[in-house]
Structure 1
Amino acid sequence: MLEFVLPPAFLMMFGAVLLALSRPALRPLIALATPLVTLYFIWQVGDGVQQTVTFLGYEVQLVEGSNLRRLFATVFALMAFGGALFAFRQSKWWELSAALLYAAGAIGVSFAGDLIVMFLFWELMALFSTVVVWCGGTERARAAGIRYAIIHLLGGLILKIGIEGLMIQTGSIEIRALTLDDFNTWMIFIGVLINAAAPPVSAWLADAYPESSPMGGVFLSAFTTKTAVLSLILLFPGQPLLIWIGLYMVFYGIIYALLENDMRRILSYSIVNQVGFMVVGVGIGTELALNGAAAHAFTHIIYKALLFMSAGAVLYRTGESKCSNLGGLFRTMPLTATCGIIGALAISSFPFTSGFISKSMISSSAAGEQLALVWFLLVAASAGVFLHAGIKFPWFVFFQKDSGLRPKEAPWNMRLAMILFAVACIGLGVFPNLLYGLLPYPVDYVPYTADHVITQLQLLLFAGLAFFVLLPLMKRTDTVSLDVDWLWRRGLPWVMERSDRAITGLRNLTTGLAGTVGRLLYDLMREKPYRYFSSRSPMGQTAIWMAVLLAVVVLLAMT
């Protein structure tokens, strides 16, 4: 008999509701305490199924523990605490409450023991992440939130179709490794990839995240895509198709981030790029690759949140998000600039930062499996990451030209959150075993070898040189980069409008022709003098007599 285990996601949900109902003076305490209490209970969850309940006639597994699940739930709780610390003095209570419910959905997916529980928490994430987007408070945020909700409802519907089909086909709702050998598993695969921002449905991320509030973007950067990575590890490890999907995501993110002018859109496209590395690791499917995907998801949440905090602090103080309107902010926001640079170095896999100890596991696993092309592309992509996130973001926001802006440094709670996450980026880079000990498989990997360190430094130095040589081409203007979402945001309405006009014209033409033919027949058959079928016309009389004679012949033949 299973012992009762309080689901950690329920604790986060309870805290979110309590925050909404409590007095304003207590809300900061609840916002900060809830993730820490949840983190404690995360580490009380043992391995295996810990809690089952009956739902719609099914025995569902509400909580199942493992190293992998605890790893993701841990970083989700840490992210909820860091985000709450960054936001609690500036965000409205409903934004904080929605963000904690969003985090609760991610933790619920982490511990979901079957597909039904996973789907329920999946939809909880979709609902409250939409609310976080809407908390941007602008007309653009409202429209982006609607588009965001439509995409995630579509993804949830596809996932639900696959789960229901699999239940009918196999009678099982267990979360296990699946193969792409039937319609149902393909639907689950597609539904998960939509949340991972995989092409062609990836533009929702860069469309919605930059429209959130300066604080909301920090939460949005962490949960949706990383729960999708966890789901891919659990459901489709070693699926070769994921290697090529991941590589597409890697270079898609780099190209669009290099073209972009808005600092938070740069970071949003960078999320797609970094998730692509994780997807490649899942596709390779070895223990080292899966460890690398999980480790990179952990480190990515921290350094990407740090980058969004830095950008959010700039946006909060200046009201500007476009790189062409920023520059020179290191003079009055030195701590924000320093933390942003640390996050940029971590995402670029600079030695002694967290990205260095995680991303290299994925490329090393490709080399170990003799995937030379994959290894080469991953290494080339690392240089591209340094170009768009490692240099472009801090250079154009904090340095380049003097924009004339002299904003104050970020508020103390924002500074404290950035410092904690910057320390985490460096601490994990210096002491990698702190992370390696939490990974799902035993780690026999040493990141700090002379060959690896020198190769990475050379790569980053040459990428930096290329950036400054090509700096005139890197400067952005106030332009719009067309993405795949143009097909359904602009192209599809245009096609539907033209189709409606064509159908309306065809209907009017058909109606007109039918009316003309009807009137002609009516005129022909009307009984008027000298009409063809009138009994008073010679032809009409002939027709009548022919009919009479034919009737007589038929009667004679019958007798």
Structure 2
Amino acid sequence: MTETFGPLSPALVLILAGLVLPLLRGWLRDGLFLIAPVLALVLVWALPLGPGLVVDWLGLQLVPLAPDRMARIFGTAFGLAAITGALYGVSQSQVTEKAAALVYAGAAQGIAFAGDLVTLFIFWEILAIGSTLVIWSNGHWRAGLRYALIHVLGGVLLFAGIAAEISATGSVGLQAIRADNFGRWLMLAGILVNAGAPPLAAWVADAYPKASWSGTVFLSAFTTKAAVLVLIRLFPGEPALLWFGLAMAVYGLAYALLENDIRKLLSYSIVGQVGFMLVAIGIGSPLALAAAALHAFAHILYKSLLMMAAGAILRSTGETRLSALGGLARAMPLTTVALVIGAFSLSAVPLTAGFVSKSAIMAALAEGRAAFFWFALTSISAGSFLYVGLKLPWFAMFRPGERREIAEPVWSMKAAMVLLCGTILAIGCVPSALEALVPEIADVAILTPDHVLFQLQLLIAASCIFVVLLPLLRPRAGTTLDVDWLWRELPRKVVAMWAPLSAPIGGAIAAGCEPLRVYWTGFSRRAVDNLSGASNWRTGKIAFWATALLATYVLIAAL
């Protein structure tokens, strides 16, 4: 049975606004850029919670708009990120970036409200297209291409997994499953690519800093958190997520401590903080899933604020290397305050949003008796204060440096930072205000004296370590070697080494591969016969060969 589309989706509002934006000029363009995210957030709360509308398409029961409590949590976070990002970037002259940013934000809302796997995949691909255009709009074509290829690979894996799931169950429902067969592992792998999980986590720090001062704010908010939402819906309690999450948290901490560039440091931090969310999803209890959603909510706020501060520094000085900065606090007081508040929230300093969300995660780990992960994440959380709460503000803002004639950012950038600072502090001071969104945290001890004292002791210990290790933590110019070297540099070195040996070895390989060539010739003839005879192929075979061919294309293009 096909029903009418009923309520308007927040996703469609943003995507249509993004498509119309290049056709407008002047104040009309800026007005639409600012109003569309506000209207989308209003719709997030105006939509009644319920099962959602059902559309019959090719015998599949699609649910393109399924408002529930989790959709409202992420829809609200995505809405706030779009509003503040648009306000911050309204002075951006690149129309392509603005249009792509609205489409990108709309795709994230589409994922939040998707009620079936097909709708999810459609918005998943729109998300990749929008984010790639945000990077390309700043002129970094190679970085955008690398980003796109990684997400093509993730999309292929997700598509193959969805195809296998539909073939096996006949259902497109978005429901909790376990990674207990090959198709579901493919689906999980595709989602983890977007989440920034190892071994492909390097794409975050490679691509995000290549966007403009305003584009990075949008990039930091949507892709990885949309993946977190999908993991909450599809794989709650999946044991593998515990270890993937812990690996991401360690990876993010280690590389952020080493990094010199502010925006790359914050990008590595994204991976680390998403790791906290994955660990909570791996626990899978109602409190843990709510805590993961709450931490995603808080992370979107404080990471957007941090990227705004970094963008303000870049726009005012043309520099983001800590080794080349210093002494900016007097010239940029508001930016300094924003940087410190965002850094303190990421470090879970009491009276900030990050303290509330990390307290919920730690309570979920304690409830689930996951002592090892509790101690590991507590240590990593204290370590994050080293790189973002101390290293970043000190070397960028407070360290004595060259005197510069620098003006504060334009009013719209300052207004966006003030709005986020107020929201982060309001959540930190009144955690009960979030109970309407996340009622599971009602019984979590947050602003209790013992909890606050314990957290302050961790932060004081981290401060002592920072003072002792200051010479080692001092930023140095250079390039941090990451795992992306394996597909960016290693193939070139292999090709260079192979060239002198290709002639003698090539003949031997050709002779050894003769049986394979004969087999392939026979297979090709059978495939042509199947196609010319209009024979039917199994869905599983189609998904497998589509995955293999597209993956081969991605690898060839990456070289």
- TM-score exceeds 0.5: yes
CA displacement 1:133-185 (0-9 Å, x = unmatched): 11222xxx221111000000000000000000110011011111111110010
> Are the aligned partners of 1:342 and 1:422 in contact in 2 as well (CA < 8 Å)?
yes
Q: What is the Cα deviation at residue 328 of structure 1?
A: 0.3
CA RMSD of aligned residues (A): 1.7
Q: What is the Cα deviation at residue 446 of structure 1?
A: 2.7
Q: What is the Cα deviation at residue 449 of structure 1?
A: 1.4
**Aligned match of 2:79 in 77, 80, 86?**
77
For 1:331, what is the secondary structure of its paired residue?
Answer: coil
Q: Residue 321 of structure 1 corresponds to which residue in structure 2?
A: 320
Matched, 1:303 2:305: no
Q: Residue 519 of structure 1 corresponds to which residue in structure 2?
A: none
Q: 1:8 to 1:498 in 2, by over 3 A?
A: same
Q: Residue 520 of structure 1 corresponds to which residue in structure 2?
A: none
Stretch of structure 1 that moved more, 368-377 or 210-219: 368-377
Matched, 1:204 2:203: yes
> Are the aligned partners of 1:175 and 1:235 in contact in 2 as well (CA < 8 Å)?
yes
What is the distance in 2 between the residues matched to 1:175 and 1:248?
27
What is the distance in 2 between the residues matched to 1:498 and 1:123?
38
Q: What is the Cα deviation at residue 478 of structure 1?
A: 1.1
What is the distance in 2 between the residues matched to 1:3 and 1:214?
38
Q: What is the Cα deviation at residue 49 of structure 1?
A: 3.1
Matched, 1:122 2:130: no
Q: 1:511 to 1:383 in 2, by over 3 A?
A: closer
Question: Is there any run of 5+ residues in structure 1 with no aligned partner, and where?
Answer: 513-559
> Are the aligned partners of 2:260 and 2:476 in contact in 1 as well (CA < 8 Å)?
yes
1:388 maps to a residue whose letter is Y
CA displacement 1:400-430 (0-9 Å, x = unmatched): 1313333111111100100000001100001
What is the distance in 2 between the residues matched to 1:357 and 1:266?
23
With structure 1 as the length reference, what TM-score do the two structures score?
Answer: 0.88
CA displacement 1:172-208 (0-9 Å, x = unmatched): 1111111111001000100000000000110000000
Question: Is there any run of 5+ residues in structure 2 with no aligned partner, and where?
Answer: 512-559
| Structure exhibiting the larger radius of gyration computed from Cα positions | 1
What percentage of aligned pairs have identical amino acids?
Answer: 46
Q: Residue 237 of structure 1 corresponds to which residue in structure 2?
A: 236
Q: Residue 5 of structure 1 corresponds to which residue in structure 2?
A: 7
Q: Residue 485 of structure 2 corresponds to which residue in structure 1?
A: 486
Q: 1:399 to 1:172 in 2, by over 3 A?
A: same
For 1:257, what is the secondary structure of its paired residue?
Answer: helix
Q: 1:14 to 1:375 in 2, by over 3 A?
A: same
Q: 1:221 to 1:511 in 2, by over 3 A?
A: closer
With structure 2 as the length reference, what TM-score do the two structures score?
Answer: 0.88
What is the distance in 1 between the residues matched to 2:56 and 2:362?
43
Q: Residue 527 of structure 1 corresponds to which residue in structure 2?
A: none
For 2:442, what is the secondary structure of its paired residue?
Answer: coil
Q: What is the Cα deviation at residue 501 of structure 1?
A: 5.2
Q: Residue 43 of structure 2 corresponds to which residue in structure 1?
A: 41
Q: What is the Cα deviation at residue 14 of structure 1?
A: 1.5
**Aligned match of 1:92 in 91, 94, 106?**
94
Q: Residue 504 of structure 1 corresponds to which residue in structure 2?
A: 503
What is the distance in 2 between the residues matched to 1:510 and 1:200?
31
Q: What is the Cα deviation at residue 492 of structure 1?
A: 3.0
What is the distance in 2 between the residues matched to 1:510 and 1:242?
41
For 2:54, what is the secondary structure of its paired residue?
Answer: strand
Q: Which structure is richer in relative contact order (CA contacts within 8 A, separation 6 or more)?
A: 2
Q: What is the Cα deviation at residue 495 of structure 1?
A: 2.9
Moved beyond 6 Å, runs of 4+: 509-512
2:290 maps to a residue whose letter is N
What is the distance in 2 between the residues matched to 1:146 and 1:510?
33
Q: 1:511 to 1:35 in 2, by over 3 A?
A: closer
Q: 1:56 to 1:325 in 2, by over 3 A?
A: farther
2:120 maps to a residue whose letter is M
Stretch of structure 1 that moved more, 310-319 or 281-290: 281-290
2:237 maps to a residue whose letter is G
For 1:61, what is the secondary structure of its paired residue?
Answer: strand
> Are the aligned partners of 1:253 and 1:272 in contact in 2 as well (CA < 8 Å)?
yes
Matched, 1:457 2:456: yes
